[in-house]
Chain A
Amino acid sequence: MLLSLQDVRKTFGGLAAVDGASLSVGSGEVHGLIGPNGAGKTTLLNMISGLIPPTAGTIVLDGERIDGMPSHVVASRGITRTYQNIRLFPALTAADNVLVGAHLRRDAPLWRRMLFLPSAAVEERAAQDASLALLARVGMSGQAGERASNLSYGDQRRVEIARALASEPRVMLLDEPTAGMNPAEVVAIAELIRSVARTGHSVLLVEHNVKLVMDVCDRITVLDFGKVIADGTPTEVARDPAVIAAYLGGEAAA
């Protein structure tokens, strides 16, 4: 398994947001992570990406323990992400946001630029072309020069996916990538997630849109109150009585 979590816990002031969760994501797999509001999905992604350290448990990427590593080191090991509450760099253009995402992939020492070496200009042009190509891949080539803060929510989410892809991650974490999108846009995102997996990247997808999850995921883990209550293929999970209870219970309470 490429990414595995073992008994991961996170407590906030005595309250367990994630309570001993284990799951694994295989290479090239699209893995769904679902669960009612407050189940601990975002907290789990935050721990994987190194934004917060787990209280207990281990996170292993390709044989290396990554729990407790600073987030920029986790990124360099091949994990990048998007955010539920979009976190683009608002003052930068869409294209520059993606260029920042390519940070780890670029070989561009400053001294070359200081000396006006042609190799610096060549590298910059290539990096810019690559980020435009990524924007085209998420269907955003028309707005490459637009400030991120001027884009609609749906468009911002797509730029965020392009930014995460720019580092050519081994695992991409997506936190509710289709929130606020219309059905046609959701279909496009589903297609994009599949194409990302086909090119060898694994995806860990947090999503409330059950149809999307059922359509694109190879496996699904269901979280409720910080605990894994089910894990399996979409059909297995959909039949699981514990899952049905959690979802119906959640809806009845809401």
Chain B
Amino acid sequence: MSLESLQDIWLTYQSTVAFIGLNGLLALSVYTTLSCGQLSLAQAGFMAIGAYASTILTFHTGLPFAVNLAVATLLPALVAIPLGLPVLRLKGVFLAIATIGFGEVVRLFFVNLDFTNGALGLTAVPQRTSMWMIYAALGAALFVLWRIRGSRTGHALEAIREDEPAARTMGIDAARYKLAMLALGASFAGLAGALEAHYTYMVSPSTYSFSRVVDMLVYAVVGGTGVFYGPVVGATFLTALPEVLREVSSRIGLAPGPVRLFVNGLVLLLVILFLPEGISSLPRRVRGALQARRRARAS
């Protein structure tokens, strides 16, 4: 293969690679609150806050991009704290609905904000995100979650997820841990929002709608939330899949759009039915099945 054709391939798939990283980071932001048993669907709202904050700074100040990104990371976490104090008392579906409400409020806020051009959003955002930044951000998020696992904090989070009242009678301040994880997830989403805005040249409120959170949640569920890297596996698979499908459907002469939706739905259904712990549990399952077969043969 010649150098030129390699370059062509890179140009064709560059944005897919970037979106694998961004979606991975977003999936981790949903996972972060899920890891202590909380289903928060406020992530698109946090993402919007990060995206708008960094874009406004880019347009109106001469601050270095690193500073804009830092603001986009910290601001959603600061917003998450007053949101979480009342909302995290809610459980299950009530928490989910309250956080959906928050996401919609944030979106409508930006729809009605003339300063950021309302529903149309801001265009011609300078492209300042490079590939390495996306993957550095993803790597940093994975690093933090990896170090939490197996720590005193990590065990406390698992205990809260398994049985919150019992965890509290062991001295675990569940409210504080849940709030901290909501803030951490919010900062992942805000950072992803800022990186995406400066990669796609635009921010607009419609990008941060409810369906965006559903996408994030689907990445996490398909990848599996049993391990911290599961959501990234799911995001990779589901972001790359449409590209593969487009190739395939153009060869067999079908319209790619409907095929994509159909296959996405099918993947979700198959995973929920047959791999409830997600794609990332597949190696462990195969190993388990092989061991069982070996044991059966030995006896």
Q: CB within 8 A of B158: which of A72, A80, A96, A113? A: A96
Closest to B226 in A: A91
B170 adjacent to A51 (CB under 8 Å) = no
- Which residues, 88 to 103 on A, are CB-close (under 8 Å) to B? 88-92, 96, 99-101, 103
| A24 interface contact, C-beta 8 A | no
A103 adjacent to B147 (CB under 8 Å) = no
Chain B residues engaging chain A, CB cutoff 8 angstroms: 144, 147-148, 150-153, 155-156, 158-159, 162-163, 165-174
B174 adjacent to A113 (CB under 8 Å) = no
| A106 interface contact, C-beta 8 A | yes
Taken together as a complex, chains A and B put the C-alpha atoms of A113 and B162 apart, in Å, by: 24
Taken together as a complex, chains A and B put the C-alpha atoms of A114 and B147 apart, in Å, by: 6
| Interfacial chain B residues near A163, Cβ < 8 Å | 170
| A40 interface contact, C-beta 8 A | no
Q: CB within 8 A of A89: which of B163, B168, B173? A: B163
Apart from A100-B172, A124-B151, what 15 extra A-B contacts exist at CB < 8 Å?
A72-B169, A72-B174, A75-B169, A89-B158, A89-B162, A96-B155, A99-B155, A100-B155, A100-B170, A103-B170, A103-B172, A104-B170, A110-B152, A127-B152, A163-B170
- Expressed in whole angstroms, the minimum distance between the Cβ of A94 and any Cβ of chain B is 13
A103 adjacent to B155 (CB under 8 Å) = yes
**Best-buried of B162, B171, B172 by chain A (most CB within 10 Å):** B171
Listed A/B pairs (24) with beta-carbon separation below 8 Å: A50-B168, A50-B169, A51-B165, A72-B170, A72-B173, A80-B169, A87-B163, A88-B166, A89-B158, A89-B159, A92-B159, A96-B158, A99-B155, A100-B156, A103-B156, A103-B170, A103-B171, A104-B171, A106-B152, A108-B151, A108-B152, A110-B152, A127-B152, A167-B170
B168 adjacent to A70 (CB under 8 Å) = yes
A113 adjacent to B147 (CB under 8 Å) = yes
| A219 interface contact, C-beta 8 A | no
| Interfacial chain A residues near B166, Cβ < 8 Å | 83, 87-89
- Expressed in whole angstroms, the minimum distance between the Cβ of A129 and any Cβ of chain B is 15
| Interfacial chain B residues near A110, Cβ < 8 Å | 147-148, 151-153
| Interfacial chain A residues near B167, Cβ < 8 Å | 89, 100
A100 adjacent to B151 (CB under 8 Å) = no
Taken together as a complex, chains A and B put the C-alpha atoms of A110 and B266 apart, in Å, by: 40
Known: A103-B152, A108-B152, A113-B151. A80 touches B159 (CB 8 A): no
Taken together as a complex, chains A and B put the C-alpha atoms of A26 and B96 apart, in Å, by: 47
Taken together as a complex, chains A and B put the C-alpha atoms of A70 and B171 apart, in Å, by: 10
| Interfacial chain A residues near B170, Cβ < 8 Å | 72, 75, 80, 100-101, 103-104, 163, 167
Taken together as a complex, chains A and B put the C-alpha atoms of A72 and B171 apart, in Å, by: 4
| A49 interface contact, C-beta 8 A | yes
- Which residues, 20 to 67 on A, are CB-close (under 8 Å) to B? 49-51
